[in-house]
Structure 1
Amino acid sequence: MKIIKSLCFLAVIASSACNQPAKQQQETAKAEGVSADTAKTTAATQIADTAAVVKAYIALKDEFLKSDVAGVKTAASALEARLAGIKGCSETAIVAHQITEAGDIKAQRESFLALSKDVVDLVKGGKFKSAPIYVDFCPMADGGKGGYWLSAAKTIENPYFPEHMKECGSVKEQIN
């Protein structure tokens, strides 16, 4: 229930995109002659879209905890649709699509590493007025290079090694 409440409050996130910071988006809007009202409406849409991305990302991470290839594909498809709705996130949506096409959990997790990096950057670009979102890190992921993921709970549940090292990792940052 706490996770659901956290995600519901994400609608208060400030405008951001996968590869275009909020300030840069505002400058682009001014340069394109967009009115202040239009810019506010766009920002509100962006906030809702970003909140939907976080919710879909957490659902995907939870499917990785189950190591369910079909469930991961379904959740990645939902995340892809959410990412496609955000200006500047088309490349990240492509990575989510790669997860839907992967034939095994290992390949899906490899794509999840890249996806997580982009989504973490997206969320860090927002300003939260909600329960925290945690940036977690596993030093063993990616062949010992390490990998990040987002979580709505402070407890570590490692999506890269849920069978053998579910509690491997640490909270590196709290976003709120």
Structure 2
Amino acid sequence: MKRTILCVSLLALSLTACKNDAKSNEEATAEERTEQTKEANTEDLPLAFNSDEQYQIARLYLDLKDKLVQEDSYGAKKIAEIMMKKFSDEEKKNKAEEIANNEDNIENQRNAFFQLSQMLEPTFAETITSGKLYQQHCPMAFDGKGAFWFSTEEEIMNPYFGDKMLHCGKVEGIIK
């Protein structure tokens, strides 16, 4: 009987000690998970910029890119007309106007879009506060000279070739 009581006491003591160790490990693991979740969430936050105006320009740019992917020159024209009103910078306004005025020539729209992408790169890099933009590049655009654009998706959807070479390109950088 004494032996049974001693065994049960030792077993209870071991379980209590193991339970306390498990609790410490669970707390440490919970803290690690919380830290990992915080890190992951900063990457998965929605796109945001210093101001609502900058956010609107970024959204219009991304919509314009999508219209060029779809080879929708009329849709690109309409978005560019809105962009013209949003830009305070004359050079950017002129590029948007060039896109709007070339509804009948999607290649000219695409060329102006690339120039607009170059102009917006510093703005995006300096004013993004959350989310991320993938800088994607097609080496075959413009007779092998290459061109880049920005996207919120990692998947390549090429605005310079549309259906002809929809997935031509690669991610070259991320702005976050």
Q: What is the TM-score with the length of structure 1 in the denominator?
A: 0.70
Q: Tell whether 2:46 aligns with 1:6.
A: yes
Q: Which runs of 5+ in 2 are unaligned?
A: 1-44
Match of 2:106 in 1: 105
Q: Which runs of 5+ in 1 are unaligned?
A: 15-46
Structure 1 runs (4+) deviating above 2 angstroms are none
- Whole-angstrom distance in 2 between the partners of 1:127 and 1:133: 9
Match of 2:136 in 1: 136
Aligned residues: 131
Q: Tell whether 2:73 aligns with 1:66.
A: no
Whichever structure has more helix as a proportion of its residues is 2
Note if contact 1:98-1:111 (Cα within 8 Å) is conserved in structure 2. yes
Equivalent position to 2:79, from 75, 81, 94: 75
- Whole-angstrom distance in 2 between the partners of 1:138 and 1:83: 27
- Which has the higher relative contact order, 1 or 2, with Cα contacts under 8 A spaced 6 or more apart? 1
Note if contact 1:6-1:152 (Cα within 8 Å) is conserved in structure 2. no
1:126: how far off?
1.8
Quick one: structure 1 residues 127 and 104, their matched pair in 2 at CA, closer, same or farther if it must change by over 3 Å?
closer
- Whole-angstrom distance in 1 between the partners of 2:167 and 2:121: 20
Give the fraction of aligned pairs with identical amino acids, expressed as a percent: 30
Note if contact 1:120-1:135 (Cα within 8 Å) is conserved in structure 2. no
Q: What is the TM-score with the length of structure 2 in the denominator?
A: 0.70
* Matched letter for residue 147 of structure 1: A
- Which secondary structure does the structure 2 equivalent of 1:148 belong to? strand
